[in-house]
Structure 1
Amino acid sequence: MSQLQLDHRKGLLITGFGGLILSADIPLLRLGEGETWSTLLLRSGTTFISAFVIWAVWSLATGRARTIVPGRVGFLVAGLYGLASICFMIAVYNTKTANLVFILAFNTVFSALLSWVFLKERPKTVTFIAMFFMLIGVGIIVREGLSSGHVFGDLVALLSTFILSTAITVSRFSGKDMGFAAIIGTILPMLVAAFMVSQNGYTVAVPGWIIFNGAVVTTLAFLCLATGPRFLSGPEVAMFYLLETVLTPIWVWLVFAEKPSDPILVGGVIIIAALVGHSLWQMYHVRKRSRMAGLVRHPI
């Protein structure tokens, strides 16, 4: 097996695991029964502490201190993840879960466009086709949001998705490990949330769920998903947010009995079908390229 195939498989496993864990994020936030800024403060704080502990243990075990923020580009990526986290939390409390996760799946479209413009990685025709259908799906969801009074939450979710795609693109461009930089980005939402809580008070009814979410779920998810761009293209990394898109509405349906409306389901099915089709094509294309590279022989 070629190194390209090994790196691609490693990237798939890492980001796939991150996407799977991330699907528990929103249900845990809702189980905490807190208001927006209090929840964000507790979640960001526990994520930061957990990441620092992991970094310290990792450094002691390996005998060398791992770089937390790789240069100025690392601070940029950290800031972008921080902004995306703030927008995400606002969206959680201002729109339905199904709306949010289906719109977050639009990450793939933004990542493909940004990679094309800034990294000169022109999307294939099949990517444009998938993006077209995803636009239709998101349009249906946003239209439903207009009629149900959730347009603000839907737009903030879309902004969060764009910022997240920018972070993935910058990480891909740098070629550096941004796993810890993404978690250091929690300092920004933590500071903003601390200011808001100082003004309005602290309210979290069941803090245990938020602590578990910040210390375990989001920490591991951020580490995995932010490491993915070292091995995969931006659009491919964004594809693994599909796991959150598919699984989160199921968890919410089972735990909170919140059934998505028919238009939301239609829009979601369109997005998921486009993403699955495109993801399968991506994997086939990489395997084909690897086989072709293996046939090349250098002259002796």
Structure 2
Amino acid sequence: MPLPALSDHRKGLLLTAIGGLALSMDIPLVRLAHGDMWSILGMRSLTTVAVAVLVICLTSYVKGTWPVLVPGRHSLAAGLLYGCSTLTFLLAVFNTATANVVFIVAFNPMFGALLSWVFLKERPSVSTLVTMAVMVFGVGLIVHDGLAGGHVFGDAMALLSAFILASAITVGRASRRDMGFVPLLAAALPAILGFAKALPSGLAIEHPAWIILNGALLMPVAFWCLATGPRYLSAPEVGMFYLLETILAPIWIWLVFAETPPTMTLIGGAILVFAIMAHSLWMVRRRLARQSLAH
């Protein structure tokens, strides 16, 4: 018996809330580990791959068949992009403030809209174009502050991470195939790179338990919940829960490490958050209006 629409909606809200909350703890756990970047990259990625393989084996045992792990050549391109985004993301984490990272990476949906326009011929709405212009202004404030603060490389890596992640999502949408395991298995690429860089001199992680917790539990939970959410919610609603990382990660860092973001970063971040939230609420309202007219 199918669940009522309201129950499905609540299930989607719960899943995406859990996913966004888990994702918001990524950077704090990376910082708590107190390790070398390459060691962190290798350990975090390896544990994610290990959990993915375990889930695949359990799923195949229960169902009696192996899931399709690499659905076509598009998945290879998407996997390469996901692996590169992990590298650029950690480069950003280790080279700029946490608030800068999460605020700039929040530009990802707008990159996605732009790439879909160019490659998938999906012209964005006027509201999306206006939101993009506002977000460019907000990111510009943060990056300009990075130029003055000497962490322009980290800000550039955060912006590149958002672009690469949007590219991976666009490739996945173009293929119209289920790529649920691709982001998790793609972590093998940064794992190999991280260990290749770190092992000659030995792994340098003071508190590896934080990274194991992050890679083995929080990241798989976050990816799975946020990937499953669109089955029950609209894309704009899911997008709002991605904002949990943008809002909460700087708060966790402030509480744990007493790291206060610069004023200009907070201003630019507030512009980004309000722009995305306003756009998402507008899209949800328009979808509900269309549904009411259809009835």
Question: Does TM, scored on the shorter chain, surpass 0.5?
Answer: yes
CA contact (8 A) 1:111 1:238 kept: no
CA distance in structure 1 between the aligned counterparts of 2:211 and 2:270, rounded to whole angstroms:
30
CA distance in structure 1 between the aligned counterparts of 2:20 and 2:179, rounded to whole angstroms:
16
Q: Counterpart in 2 of 1:46?
A: 47
Which letter does structure 2 place at the counterpart of 1:284? R
Q: After the TM superposition, which residues 277-288 of structure 1 pair with which residues of structure 2 at under 5 Å, given as runs? A: 277-288=278-289
CA distance in structure 1 between the aligned counterparts of 2:198 and 2:153, rounded to whole angstroms:
22
CA distance in structure 2 between the aligned counterparts of 1:8 and 1:188, rounded to whole angstroms:
36
CA contact (8 A) 1:32 1:207 kept: yes
Q: After the TM superposition, which residues 115-194 of structure 1 pair with which residues of structure 2 at under 5 Å, given as runs? A: 115-194=116-195
CA distance in structure 2 between the aligned counterparts of 1:172 and 1:233, rounded to whole angstroms:
15
- Distance verdict in 2 for CA 1:168–1:4, change over 3 Å: farther
Q: Counterpart in 1 of 2:66?
A: 65
CA distance in structure 2 between the aligned counterparts of 1:79 and 1:234, rounded to whole angstroms:
24
CA distance in structure 2 between the aligned counterparts of 1:107 and 1:202, rounded to whole angstroms:
32
- Distance verdict in 2 for CA 1:67–1:228, change over 3 Å: farther
Measure how far apart 1:65 and its partner are. 2.0
Measure how far apart 1:244 and its partner are. 0.9
CA distance in structure 2 between the aligned counterparts of 1:257 and 1:266, rounded to whole angstroms:
19
CA contact (8 A) 1:171 1:229 kept: no
| Alignment length (residue pairs) | 294
CA contact (8 A) 2:236 2:280 kept: no
1:27 maps onto 2:25 in alignment: no
Q: Counterpart in 2 of 1:219?
A: 220
Measure how far apart 1:24 and its partner are. 0.6
CA distance in structure 2 between the aligned counterparts of 1:115 and 1:81, rounded to whole angstroms:
17
Unaligned runs of 5+ in 1: 296-300
Which letter does structure 1 place at the counterpart of 2:136? L
- Distance verdict in 2 for CA 1:288–1:63, change over 3 Å: farther
Measure how far apart 1:196 and its partner are. 0.6
State the Cα RMSD in Å.
2.6
More displaced, 267-276 or 169-178? 169-178
Measure how far apart 1:168 and its partner are. 1.1
Measure how far apart 1:104 and its partner are. 0.5
SS of 2:39's partner is helix
CA distance in structure 2 between the aligned counterparts of 1:228 and 1:150, rounded to whole angstroms:
35
CA distance in structure 1 between the aligned counterparts of 2:165 and 2:18, rounded to whole angstroms:
18
Percent identity over paired residues: 51
With normalisation by structure 2, the TM-score equals 0.91
Q: After the TM superposition, which residues 201-240 of structure 1 pair with which residues of structure 2 at under 5 Å, given as runs? A: 201-226=202-227, 239-240=240-241
Measure how far apart 1:123 and its partner are. 1.2
SS of 1:241's partner is helix
Unaligned runs of 5+ in 2: none
